[in-house]
Amino acid sequence: MTGVTAAELTYREAVGLALAEELERDESVVLLGEDIGAAGGVFKTTAGLFDRFGAERVRDTPISEQAIVGCALGAAVLGMRPVAEIMFADFAAVCFDQIANQVAKYRYMGGGQAKAPITIRLANGSGSGYASQHSQSVENWFLNFPGLQIAVPGTPQDAYLLLKWAIREDNPVLVFEHKSLYGMRGPVATGEPAFGSSVALREGGDVTIVATQLMCRRALEAATELADQGVEAEVIDLRTLAPLDLPGVLESVARTSRLVCVQEGPAAGGWAATLIARVVDEGFDLLDAKPRLLTSDETPVPYARSLEEAGLPTVERIVEATLAAVNQ
Amino acid sequence: LSSEAHTSGDATAAGGDHSAAEIAELLGLYRRMVEIRCFEDAVERLFTRNLIRGSTHLGQGQEAVAVGACSALRPDDVMTCTYRGHDAVLAMGASPTAAMAELLGRRDGLCGGKGGSMHLTDVKNGAYGSFAIVGGHLPFAVGAALAGLRRDEPLVSLTFFGDGATNIGAFHEALNLAAIWRLPVIFVCENNLYGEYSPIAATTPVTRLTERAKSYAMRSVQVDGNDVLAVRDLIAEAAAEARVGGGPLLVEALTYRHKGHSRTDPATYRPPEEVEAWLERDPIVRFGGWLIERGHIDGDGLAEIRDAAAATVQEATEAALALPEPDPETRFEDIFA
């Protein structure tokens, strides 16, 4: 089956299409997860796959995240290409050992005797009212594990391409799907994803705003407002956090001289602070203003709409932080 | 699968009349056990000379479990084990020189010096890893069996773990998953009566760890882990059943480590009479006695085997010590394929 060319799909449908195409293409691909089979997944990303590919290829598992991830690793090392689903990314805490100590380190500890082509999909992020234990953006938990690659698709196109890339990749990849983007529509075309390279969603010469996923959507809205005020912002979607596209960001900052990083999730130990540190380290002379770090507040994600929304970087806060950078 | 035939604790109960080939095989098991004992003794000495870094976990006394079980596997089968796994990896056929080089952190070690004592891996011999998070490898073993179903003849995934691992979540998740999918996994619990420094009765409410299998509707069997033939015959039978859809099995192998948990542990918490009783059941001494009793070899012959094994380990140690440490630049290799 070939991919759909520039069809309008939702982010959710793009995930499902990528899974279907890879299941079709390679019989070693197998999906593992809770309620991904007969139920089609709690976010319906795997809808229809169970009927089409059967219970052996689309495997419903018990609620056992350690077993899901560890089993996927063992199957990967023995020649399969498993795609494990963590229903809500927060549950990665339940199987942290499996991801951090087993998946990330397996190949290295053995001195490269085996490869582990495992993909782990995780439904991530806030903005949908799932409260503290089902809403955190947890991608930053995994930045400290050389051996893991991390994709954070922010569009239907990337949800499709990055997932297909991850499944074909011979190494572990965590793919964080943003729950609040599942309904987003956009064109999806076949093609080769450039894994590890960022993309400018909007070009501009006055300031560079770097973000991922939901924050990219807000940064684009902010950029429109900023344009009304005469400020042209370049909005960069990182697309992957490991590898982190430092050269791409430096190239943009070389033109704009100003940097704003917008991160969903608290600041400590996150990609945004790391990126700023690296830009300062390697590109200090490019900067005409101090880099700005805009993140979620230092709280667990609360439930009520007013509470949750107030804690996230809003369009208004992005505009504010960007103007501060531009006007310094 | 009968547990009764394998739990007599009497090595003389195993076996019947043996052909020349079978006798050679039996002597091979003896040789492998002695070689592992010599290896562990050498490791202990190298430790006291600070030539081996970090921690190590010696397996003297448990050789019959590793050698018996691994000798029943086929070349395509998958073995995973714990950080007390030198014995199992050697039992799969790993080069003693490459294994010792790895422990010494040398260039041509099994893992290029990246793994060390706790992560010995020799994939070409079916040793898919030594894992140092208690129980963390049991889901891996389930996945290996799942992948094996795609082959014409399913492989068997055999995984070793200690009694302490039966109290960690990954153990229960792995047994449950293997049971509902009826996968060919043989879970081999090396019950050496102590989880690190704690006697099993202080940490585990059941006295027979085979009980753990009941809540997963899984078959289980206890075996005398100091009887190499009992272990071998049990695993051979279990593997044959697993290959034709018999599903997973939990084996509890009763054994005893002669040493403490790790280098910092003199094992003073163990009653002297308990240690003495287990030393009398030393698996190598028992099997040697049985071989003589059956007329397969005499005392001088056994001594020759022991000398040859000691020489092999001595040569391996010297060869490993002569190797350089890895080039520091190689630390960046093997993160990704």
Pick A114's closest partner by Cβ from B123, B131, B141. B123
According to the model, what pLDDT value does residue A93 have?
98
Amino acid sitting at position B317: T
More confident residue, B164 or A5: B164
Cα distance between residue A154 and residue A136, in whole Å: 16
For residue B303, give both structure tokens.
Answer: 């001594």
CB contact B248 to A (< 8 Å): no
- What is the pTM for the complete model shown? 0.95
According to the model, what pLDDT value does residue B8 have?
39
Cα distance between residue B152 and residue A300, in whole Å: 51
According to the model, what pLDDT value does residue B197 have?
78
A64/B176 touch (CB, cutoff 8 Å), yes or no: yes
According to the model, what pLDDT value does residue A291 have?
98
CB contact B336 to A (< 8 Å): yes
The alpha-carbon gap from A326 to the nearest alpha carbon of chain B, in Å, equals 40
> Do the strands A199-202 and A233-237 form a parallel or antiparallel pair, or are they unpaired?
antiparallel
Rounded mean pLDDT, B224-248:
97
Cα distance between residue B28 and residue B232, in whole Å: 13
According to the model, what pLDDT value does residue B274 have?
87
Confidence of residue B14 (pLDDT cuts 50, 70, 90): very low
CB contact B177 to A (< 8 Å): yes
**Contacts with B262 (C-beta within 8 Å, 6 or more apart), sequence order:** B55, B56, B57
> Which residues between 77 and 96 in chain B have a beta carbon less than 8 angstroms from any beta carbon of chain A?
78
According to the model, what pLDDT value does residue A303 have?
96
B334/A108 touch (CB, cutoff 8 Å), yes or no: yes
According to the model, what pLDDT value does residue B199 have?
84
Which residue reads 């509470």 in tokens? A307
Residue pairs between chains A and B whose CB atoms are closer than 8 Å: 145
The alpha-carbon gap from A80 to the nearest alpha carbon of chain B, in Å, equals 6
Cα distance between residue B33 and residue B187, in whole Å: 21
- What chain B residue is nearest to A94 in terms of C-alpha separation? B169
B122/A113 touch (CB, cutoff 8 Å), yes or no: yes
Pick B133's closest partner by Cβ from A62, A76, A101. A101
Which range among A1-10, B27-36, B85-94, B316-325 shows the weakest confidence by mean pLDDT? A1-10
Cα distance between residue B270 and residue B198, in whole Å: 9
- Per DSSP, the three-state class of A263 is strand
Given a cut of 50, is residue B7 above it in pLDDT? no
CB contact B333 to A (< 8 Å): yes
Residues of chain A with C-beta less than 8 angstroms from the C-beta of B170:
66-67, 70, 97-98
Mean pLDDT for chain B? 93
Query: B117-165, pLDDT tens digit by residue?
Result: 999 999 999 999 999 999 999 999 999 999 999 988 889 999 999 999 9
Which range among A47-51, A146-150, A318-322, B149-153 shows the weakest confidence by mean pLDDT? B149-153
Rounded to 10 degrees, what is the CA torsion of A106, A110, A116, A119? 20
Asked if A11 and A61 touch (Cβ cutoff 8 Å), the reply is no
The alpha-carbon gap from B264 to the nearest alpha carbon of chain A, in Å, equals 24
Rounded to 10 degrees, what is the CA torsion of B86, B8, B175, A51? 110
Cα distance between residue B102 and residue B118, in whole Å: 10
Which of A61, A108, A120 best probes binding to B when mutated, by most B CB atoms within 10 angstroms? A108
Given a cut of 70, is residue A2 above it in pLDDT? no
Confidence of residue A94 (pLDDT cuts 50, 70, 90): very high
Instruction: Give the CA radius of gyration of chain A.
Output: 19
More confident residue, B277 or A252: A252
Nearest to A139 by CA among A215, A64, A247: A215
CB contact B184 to A (< 8 Å): no
Nearest to B157 by CA among B187, B181, B130: B187
The complex's ipTM works out to 0.95
According to the model, what pLDDT value does residue B12 have?
47
Which residue reads 């929304």 in tokens? A309
- Per DSSP, the three-state class of A120 is strand
Which residue reads 């960046």 in tokens? B332
Residues of chain B with C-beta less than 8 angstroms from the C-beta of A109:
111, 114-115, 119, 121, 129
- What chain B residue is nearest to A146 in terms of C-alpha separation? B335
Please calculate the CA angle B232-B236-B237 and round it to the nearest 5 degrees. Answer: 120
Torsion sign over Cα A319, A322, A324, A326: negative
According to the model, what pLDDT value does residue B196 have?
73
Nearest to B92 by CA among B77, B112, B114, B109: B77
Asked if A309 and A135 touch (Cβ cutoff 8 Å), the reply is no
Given a cut of 60, is residue A110 above it in pLDDT? yes
Which range among A94-98, A284-288, B193-197 shows the weakest confidence by mean pLDDT? B193-197
The alpha-carbon gap from B323 to the nearest alpha carbon of chain A, in Å, equals 17
A70/B142 touch (CB, cutoff 8 Å), yes or no: yes
Percent of chain B topping pLDDT 90: 80
Which range among A197-211, B31-45, B156-170, B269-283 shows the weakest confidence by mean pLDDT? B269-283
- Per DSSP, the three-state class of B275 is helix
According to the model, what pLDDT value does residue B42 have?
97
Nearest to B260 by CA among B33, B87, B59: B59
Residues of chain A with C-beta less than 8 angstroms from the C-beta of B141:
74
Given a cut of 50, is residue B11 above it in pLDDT? no
Distances (CA, A) of B251 to B126, B138, B189, B269: 20, 14, 6, 27
According to the model, what pLDDT value does residue A168 have?
96
Cα distance between residue B58 and residue B32, in whole Å: 16
- How distant is the alpha carbon of residue A114 from its chain centre? 26
Residues of chain B with C-beta less than 8 angstroms from the C-beta of A144:
none
The alpha-carbon gap from B193 to the nearest alpha carbon of chain A, in Å, equals 26
- What chain A residue is nearest to B138 in terms of C-alpha separation? A70
Cα distance between residue A262 and residue A215, in whole Å: 7
B133/A80 touch (CB, cutoff 8 Å), yes or no: no
B139/A67 touch (CB, cutoff 8 Å), yes or no: yes
Cα distance between residue B164 and residue B172, in whole Å: 13
Asked if A115 and B337 touch (Cβ cutoff 8 Å), the reply is yes
Phi first, then psi, for residue B129 (nearest 5°) are 145, 150
The alpha-carbon gap from A112 to the nearest alpha carbon of chain B, in Å, equals 5
Cα distance between residue A229 and residue A318, in whole Å: 14
Mean pLDDT for chain A? 96
Residues of chain A with C-beta less than 8 angstroms from the C-beta of B144:
74-75, 77-78
Which residue reads 């990330």 in tokens? A104
Amino acid sitting at position B123: V
Confidence of residue B258 (pLDDT cuts 50, 70, 90): confident
Number of CB atoms found within 10 A of residue A247's CB: 13
Amino acid sitting at position B137: H
The alpha-carbon gap from B150 to the nearest alpha carbon of chain A, in Å, equals 9
Per the document, the length of chain A is 328
The alpha-carbon gap from A69 to the nearest alpha carbon of chain B, in Å, equals 8
According to the model, what pLDDT value does residue B200 have?
84
> Which residues between 17 and 36 in chain B have a beta carbon less than 8 angstroms from any beta carbon of chain A?
none
Pick B129's closest partner by Cβ from A98, A106, A170. A106
Q: Which residues of A touch B (CB under 8 A)?
A: 28, 30, 61-62, 64, 66-80, 82, 97-98, 101-102, 106-117, 146-147, 149, 170-171
Rounded mean pLDDT, B24-28:
97
Residues of chain A with C-beta less than 8 angstroms from the C-beta of B174:
66-67, 70-71
Cα distance between residue B142 and residue B179, in whole Å: 10
Identify the DSSP state of A100: I
Given a cut of 90, is residue B6 above it in pLDDT? no
Rounded mean pLDDT, A248-273:
97
Asked if B295 and A68 touch (Cβ cutoff 8 Å), the reply is no
Percent of chain B topping pLDDT 70: 95
Which of A32, A63, A66, A115 best probes binding to B when mutated, by most B CB atoms within 10 angstroms? A66
Per the document, the length of chain B is 337
Query: B281-326, pLDDT tens digit by residue?
Result: 999 999 999 999 999 999 999 999 999 999 999 999 999 999 999 9
For residue A249, give both structure tokens.
Answer: 């960001």
Confidence of residue A172 (pLDDT cuts 50, 70, 90): very high
Confidence of residue B13 (pLDDT cuts 50, 70, 90): very low
Query: B207-229, pLDDT tens digit by residue?
Result: 899 999 999 999 999 999 999 99
B334/A112 touch (CB, cutoff 8 Å), yes or no: yes
Confidence of residue B262 (pLDDT cuts 50, 70, 90): confident
Which residue reads 């992020």 in tokens? A125
The catalytic residues of A are 134
> Do the strands B157-162 and B185-191 form a parallel or antiparallel pair, or are they unpaired?
parallel
> Which residues between 206 and 235 in chain B have a beta carbon less than 8 angstroms from any beta carbon of chain A?
none
According to the model, what pLDDT value does residue A192 have?
75
Which residue reads 């080089």 in tokens? B101
Phi first, then psi, for residue B243 (nearest 5°) are -65, -25
For residue A7, give both structure tokens.
Answer: 């069809």
